Amino acid sequence: MKNIYFNEYNIPMENTIYLPLVSGKLAAYAKTFPQITEAYNFMPPLYKRDTPENILAQYINPSVAAFSVSLWNYNLSLEVAQLLKEKFPYCVTIFGGPSAPFNGTLPNVDYIINGEGERKFVNILARIGGLYPQVLEGIDKNIDCFPSPYVTGEFDMLLKDDMKHQAIIETNRGCPYLCAYCFWGQGGLNKQYRFHSLDYIQAEAEWLGRNKIEYVFCADSNFGMFEKDVEIAQIWADTKARFGYPEKVRVCYGKNGEDSIFQVAKILSKAGLAKAITLSRQTNNQEAMQNVNRKNIKKEVFDQLQSKYKAKGIPTYTEFILGLPGETMSSFKKGVMEALETSTKIFIYHCTVLPGTEMAQPEYIAKHGICTVRVPMSEIHCEVREPGAIQEYEDIIIQTNTMSKEEWIECAVNAWLIQLRHSFNITPIPNKIVCKFYEIACGITEGKPRGQVDLKFGNIYWEPEELAYLNLTYRTGNPKEFARRKILYGRKGK
pLDDT above 70: percentage of residues in the chain: 96
Class of CATH domain 2-129: alpha beta
Question: Residue 303 above 80 pLDDT?
Answer: no
CATH code reported for the domain at 140-274: 3.30.750.210
pLDDT of residue 190: 63
Mean pLDDT of the chain: 92
What does DSSP say about strands 371-376 and 345-350: parallel, antiparallel, or unpaired?
unpaired
Kindly state the average pLDDT of the residues 125-137. Answer: 81
In angstroms, rounded to a whole number, what is the distance separating the alpha carbons of residues 46 and 20?
A: 8
What are the tens digits of pLDDT across the range 190-232? 678 899 999 999 999 999 999 999 999 999 999 999 999 999 9
How many helices (H) and strands (E) would you count in the chain? 16, 17
N-to-C CA span, the chain: 44
User: 3-class SS at 172?
Assistant: strand
Neighbours of 254 (CB within 10 A): 22
pLDDT band at 390 (very low <50, low <70, confident <90, very high): very high
Question: How wide is the angle at C-alpha 383 spanned by C-alphas 23 and 15, nearest 5°?
Answer: 70
* pLDDT for 79 beyond 50: yes
Q: Per-residue pLDDT for 491 more than 60? A: no
The answer on pLDDT for 466 being more than 50 is: yes
Question: Taking a C-beta distance cutoff of 8 angstroms, is the pair 203, 236 a contact?
Answer: no
Q: Report the distance separating Cα 347 and Cα 334, nearest Å.
A: 15
Q: Using the predicted structure, report yes or no on whether residue 104 has a pLDDT greater than 90.
A: no
Q: Does the pLDDT at position 492 exceed 50?
A: no
- State the pLDDT at residue 185: 66
281 band by pLDDT with thresholds 50, 70 and 90: confident
Backbone angles phi, psi at 406, to 5 degrees: -65, -40
Q: What is the mean predicted confidence (pLDDT) over 474-478?
A: 88
Residue 417 pLDDT grade (very low, low, confident, very high; cuts 50, 70, 90): very high
Is omega for the bond preceding 428 within 30 degrees of 0, making it cis?
Answer: yes
pLDDT digits (tens, 9 = 90+) for 448-457: 999 999 999 9
CB 98 within 8 A of CB 72: no
Work out whether the CA dihedral 397, 400, 404, 410 comes out positive or negative. Answer: negative
For the ranges 63-77, 119-133, 242-256, the maximum mean pLDDT occurs at 63-77
Phi (first) and psi of residue 482, to 5 degrees = -60, -45
- Separation of alpha carbons 381 and 11, rounded Å: 10
The more confidently predicted of residues 341 and 405 is 405
Give residue 140's pLDDT band: very low, low, confident or very high (50, 70, 90). low
Residue 253, sorted as left (phi over 0), alpha (psi -120 to 50) or beta, turns out to be beta
CA distances from 323 to 84, 281, 406, 420, 478 (A): 39, 14, 12, 20, 38
Bridge partners (DSSP) of residue 316 are 277
Overall average pLDDT of the 140-151 stretch: 91
What's the mean pLDDT in 351-359? 94
The domain limits of the chain are 2-129, 140-274, 281-477
Percent of the chain with pLDDT over 90: 75
Using an 8 Å Cβ cutoff, are 70 and 166 in contact?
no
Tell me the pLDDT tens digit for each residue of 150-194: 999 999 999 998 899 999 999 999 888 889 999 876 654 567 889
β-strands 371-376, 393-399 pairing: antiparallel
Rounded average pLDDT over 380-386? 92
Pairing of strands 194-195, 172-173: antiparallel
Q: What is the pLDDT of residue 476?
A: 83
Q: Contact at 8 Å (CB) between 299 and 281?
A: no
202/236 Cα distance (integer angstroms): 8
Q: Do you find a cis peptide bond into 45, omega within 30 degrees of 0?
A: no
pLDDT tens digits, one per residue of 23-46: 999 999 999 999 999 999 999 999
| Number of residues that make up the chain | 494
pLDDT above 60: residue 364: yes
Q: Please state, in angstroms and rounded to a whole number, the distance separating the CA atoms of residues 79 and 98.
A: 18
Model confidence at 255, in pLDDT bands (50, 70, 90)?
confident
On the question of a common fold for 2-129 and 140-274, the answer reads no
Q: Give the per-residue pLDDT at 76.
A: 98
Q: Report the pLDDT averaged over residues 309-327.
A: 91
77: β partners: none
β pairing state of 62-68 and 164-169: unpaired
Q: What is the per-residue pLDDT for 494?
A: 39
Q: Where are the beta strands (DSSP E) in 272-344?
A: 277-278, 316-322
Q: What is the pLDDT of residue 464?
A: 98
Overall average pLDDT of the 367-378 stretch: 98
Please list the residues that pair with 261 across neighbouring strands.
none
Residue 183 amino acid letter = F
pLDDT > 70? residue 493: no
CB of 381 closer than 8 Å to CB of 454 = no
* Average pLDDT of span 359-364: 96
CB 382 within 8 A of CB 461: yes
pLDDT at 133 over 80: no
